[in-house]
A = this chain, B = another copy of it.
């Protein structure tokens, strides 16, 4: 007899994987399961809700709970600050600010951030180093409205770390892809032009008033892997 909601979750997973409850089939109601397991309905609910969140079950009011047809596995990653990643490997971390200017961003960036086309943003390019060797080339557009006066010294602190520490919790999106190294990226990262780079693109807005905050593209040096348990 399972005891505790985690045991119930395990039992349910067991029944799904052994096809006692076949894919696409209806499973007993919370009532019935609570009775069978000798626990309260809330306990069953907690277990089933979690599995529904994980994509293993599909639940609808009145319709009941059924085993998901194609279980969409969800992988989750911790998006860490680069400094933390580097120092966690026992390496020395440094940032170098390569360029800083005030300019109108490319159309795609302005659109994604919901800014008018002519708006000028702070354009920063920097290089993250581990033990002196280049790791990540960062190309960032930053809404100057979020900056205080005087502007923080981004030669000393990475923009990302300043943002994390000083700008309100915000929403955004993130995308991963692969791209060939551009001339500038190849030079900064000390790789051949055209080398395959892992690209992280992040777009952040919101904060207080749904304002645009920043758009950033990180080009990771070859060898970078984004890894997680399923």
Contacts and interface: CB of A to CB of B under 8 A. Distances in A.
Interface stretch (A32-40, A144-152, A175-183): A175-183
Interface of A: 13, 16-19, 23, 55-56, 70-81, 84, 161, 164-165, 168-180, 194-199, 202, 204, 207-208, 220, 222, 224-230
A17 B169 contact: yes
Nearest to A77: B75
A22 to B, nearest CB: 11
Total copies of this chain within the assembly: 2
B75 A164 contact: no
A10 B8 CA distance: 30
Given A23-B165, A76-B75, A178-B198, A230 B173 contact: yes
9 contacts: A13-B169, A56-B169, A70-B165, A75-B174, A79-B230, A171-B230, A177-B198, A177-B225, A202-B230
Contacts of A198: 176-178
